[in-house]
Structure 1
Amino acid sequence: MATRADSIASNLNLANFSKATELRQRIWFTIGALIVFRFLSFIPLPGVNPAALQNLADLGRGGILDLFNTFSGGSLERMSLIALGVMPYITASIVVQMAAALHPTLAALKKEGATGRQKLNQYTRYGTVFLCAIQGWFLASGLESFSAQNGIAAVVDPGYMFRIGAVVSLVGGTMFLLWLGEQITSRGIGNGVSLIIMAGIVAQFPMFATNLFEGGRTGAIAPGIIIGFIVMVVVLIVGIAFVERAQRRLLIQYPKRATQQGMMQADRSHLPLKLNTAGVIPPIFASSLLLLPLTISQFAGNSVDTESTFGTAIVTLNQYLAHGQPIYMLLYAIGIIFFCFFYTAVVFNPEETADNLKKNGGFIPGIRPGKRTAEYLEYVLSRITVVGAIYLTVVCVVPEYMIAQTGIPLFLGGTSLLIVVNVTVDTLSQVQSHLLAHQYGDLIKKAKLKGRLR
């Protein structure tokens, strides 16, 4: 059996890909949808002066908006129709997941299967619209005040009509992206929302690579630094790809059952526990919290009295929480570790998993079903989460240290690398699954044809 599987896997080459018509159609649909996403990122909001936006973007560097701008593929910097991207949906889904783990009513919905998941998805969409409306209003108001303070006419006709129009446009743009992501998931290849985020990050890579090598050509960046940066990125990508596929597989055994031949046979399976259960959520949360004070002070501008207690506190906070500062990197690492344990506890419930195993008759060899199984799962999960938290901390803090030491404007941080590598590996796995299914389909057809000839 293993030899047969290996031979099938070895035949997953370009020849099989050319025969997989459905897979090629799915890939072309995905590429077309991502092209539509990139076109939308260049359509500005109604009432916005695109020529003046670049100056405002330069004044707001280094804050939390840089993080959102990276995930939206530069749409926020250009104030396009999809400036908010899919971040409101990601935030709403995280909130609903946390609420489902804490609130009894939502927890009961989660256990109802497909119907409960559909209801929770509906709540997530409502939360997305609400967050889009709130963020859109503050973004339009901040754009008006920020442009007025710096003497840049980025808004053609400021006022409530501009704000209302901006909110409607931003809500519509985000909801269209969600619909586009769902179409990619159902008719394309890979997870649609994740691919949209990855496409936004990858779209900025050519500009960054051009600036990097131009700096090396002009002598602004030493060749050794460029080589070291490339080596660091390659090592991080390989490490991320290895760790994200790593699992702790717990053996699950089921009672003996009678087979067709009358023999008693015990079924076995495995419970996979990912080394990094929390995914990319911890670095996103940690960086958002740390960059929030800097963003507030940037938008406050000249209205903050630096001689006042509040103004002095903001200025001092910005000095210590600037990128590359030791306190910033220390708090960033602590935040990642904290959210690793917190979010893992939210998405994985050892008691619920132990109860499901007990109901289905499964047990871990040497561990008594029920409470003892839940304690053992929590014991194992807490220890692999320690390794996952250390891994995430290294991946995210090393690029920050690189920025501090070299001064390279590195947009390709640890969070971006995590997203790009994760989505790429997941998409390639789905492509391989489609090719494998196509290969098995061909084998079944040949077997049926030979059976008819006989």
Structure 2
Amino acid sequence: MLEKLRVVFTIPELRNKILLTLGLLAIYRIGFHISLPMMNQNLAPSAGEDTASQFFEKVSLFAASDLRQATIFGLGIMPYISASIIFQLLGSVWAPIEELKKEGEAGRKKINEYTRYLTVVLCLIQSYMYLKFWLMAGGEGEASKVNPNFFGADSNTLFWGWQITAVLIMTCGTIFLMWLGEQIDEYGIGNGISLLIMAGILAQMPGALFDLIQNMKTELVGLSKGTVGIETLIILIVLFVAVVFGVVFITLGQRRIPTQSAKFTRGRRVYGGNRQFLPLRINQAGVMPIIFASSLLMIPGVMLQFLSKSFTPGTFMFSALNGFGSIMSSGTSFVYNMMYVALIFFFCYFWTAITFNPKEMSDQLKDHGTFIPGYRPGKRTADYLEKVMVRITYVGAAFLAIVAIVPTIVYGSLGVSYSIAGFYGGTGLLIAVSVAFDLIQKIDSHLVMRNYRGLLEG
């Protein structure tokens, strides 16, 4: 392996791409620690903010940021991801966007331009909501998140001019992250946005590991909740290895459908007639179903507990809203996990239906003179491809569901913090391994083009 890594850095073009990517990721990490000047930092959440703090901790896993601290990259890359998803969905239901997708490179550039405009709009809205309802929120007796030097005249809140400045700073921060991702795509190696998300996850892993070691007892304490002993550490290690193995196995997993090209004669020679395979990925949707499902389930808990404050404590409505909000926010209840699994299955099939078009694939096979033995080109081939995709998507959705509920089970049964459970046995690890595997495959493609062995070859 060391020899293979040496070969990677002896290729000038590949070495420059890797160093540029590392440099841009370092810039991202530096900006991650630059805080907004008008905000106090490192404030522990008050009793009424525990739910919102847990919400931000989970959202930060996918946003390449830490929403619990006000930094110039406070929103992370999530607005850009949201805008990309919106246009991905519109491309399947709105004719103008669908036509642009069919125009090739010119249409893709136009869609990227619209995506950037929508990202700016989402940044302005989300940064203002984040500033208004989190950074500037606070009741009597709670430590203010706003630096008193930036208060307005005769006011205990942030001056309106500084509010606009904070919104613009966070918006520019997200746009800068979007630009960094595009530079990595064009001049570096790997998918820029995915690498930013992975860098954010990996940056929080050492802190989670340090907390685990600091609170661990080097003795057998049983699997008692809230106490981390040798048994708990062994379980976390086993989960780590199992998730890494499972992610690699499912990522490589394919359903190979045999295809055969038609024969044709030109002169005295016969061409075509070759047997090939049409690979269909088991996990066609990637990690998007987990992101969608977790995002939807986090919102009701926060909203219900926020609405419960409108009623008098002790009343039926207050108890009902607060109780159901606690169930949805804790992430450890049976109802929450069942809803989580159901949403993951739904979004797996939903996202696969958007990204995989059996009719279009059938038409492409027909245009290239290729057919699936036993099935006529056209509708029968499309129906067969759809039936196969429905079956293998069930396997991919089941795997994602198992990986997704591992952190909630560990968090609820063992009592370790969510950061430890999430990063070392679940979604965070799934994203990190998937992106790292994709990065290695792209490095391998550069090595194979130059007649070197790939990193994954024996």
Give the TM-score, by structure 1 length. 0.88
Alignment correspondent of 1:5: none
1:64 corresponds to which of 50, 55, 77: 55
1:155 corresponds to which of 142, 146, 151: 146
Q: State how 1:90-169 maps to structure 2 within 5 Å.
A: 90-148=81-139, 151-156=142-147, 157=151, 158-169=158-169
Letter aligned with residue 396 of structure 1? A
Alignment correspondent of 2:390: 382
Q: State how 1:278-289 maps to structure 2 within 5 Å.
A: 278-289=285-296
Whether 2:437 is the aligned partner of 1:425: answer yes
Mapped to 2, the partners of 1:353 and 1:308 lie a distance apart of 58
CA change 1:136–1:389 in 2 (3 A) is same
Alignment correspondent of 1:19: 10
Deviation at 1:349, TM superposition (A): 1.2
Alignment correspondent of 1:360: 368
Decide whether the 8 Å contact of 1:149 with 1:301 is kept in 2.
no
**CA offsets, 1:262-308, max 9 Å, x none?**
23332444322110111111111111111112223566685554456
Give the TM-score, by structure 2 length. 0.87
Q: State how 1:285-324 maps to structure 2 within 5 Å.
A: 285-297=292-304, 302=309, 305-307=312-314, 311-321=318-328, 322-324=330-332
Decide whether the 8 Å contact of 2:261 with 2:272 is kept in 1.
no
Alignment correspondent of 1:344: 352
Determine what percentage of the aligned residue pairs are the same residue: 38
1:226 corresponds to which of 233, 236, 239: 233
Mapped to 2, the partners of 1:30 and 1:340 lie a distance apart of 31
Decide whether the 8 Å contact of 1:252 with 1:364 is kept in 2.
yes
Alignment correspondent of 1:41: 32
CA change 1:62–1:325 in 2 (3 A) is farther
Whether 2:95 is the aligned partner of 1:87: answer no
Alignment correspondent of 1:439: 451
- Which has the larger helix fraction? 1
Residue correspondences, number: 432
Decide whether the 8 Å contact of 2:64 with 2:77 is kept in 1.
no
Decide whether the 8 Å contact of 1:74 with 1:204 is kept in 2.
no
CA change 1:139–1:62 in 2 (3 A) is closer
Q: Secondary structure at the match of 1:130?
A: helix
**CA offsets, 1:390-426, max 9 Å, x none?**
1111111122111111011132152212210110100
Q: Secondary structure at the match of 1:78?
A: coil
Structure 1 alignment gaps of length 5 or more: 1-9, 442-454
Q: Secondary structure at the match of 2:137?
A: helix
Mapped to 2, the partners of 1:87 and 1:436 lie a distance apart of 34
* Structure 1 range deviating more: 94-103 or 319-328: 319-328
Mapped to 2, the partners of 1:371 and 1:234 lie a distance apart of 43
* Structure 1 range deviating more: 285-294 or 188-197: 285-294
CA change 1:267–1:259 in 2 (3 A) is farther
Decide whether the 8 Å contact of 1:259 with 1:265 is kept in 2.
no
Deviation at 1:196, TM superposition (A): 0.3
Deviation at 1:72, TM superposition (A): 4.1
Decide whether the 8 Å contact of 1:293 with 1:317 is kept in 2.
no
CA RMSD of aligned residues (A): 2.6
Alignment correspondent of 2:222: none
Mapped to 2, the partners of 1:227 and 1:318 lie a distance apart of 33
Mapped to 1, the partners of 2:275 and 2:39 lie a distance apart of 62
Whether 2:210 is the aligned partner of 1:216: answer no
Mapped to 2, the partners of 1:252 and 1:129 lie a distance apart of 45
Decide whether the 8 Å contact of 1:34 with 1:199 is kept in 2.
yes
Alignment correspondent of 1:194: 194
Deviation at 1:24, TM superposition (A): 1.5
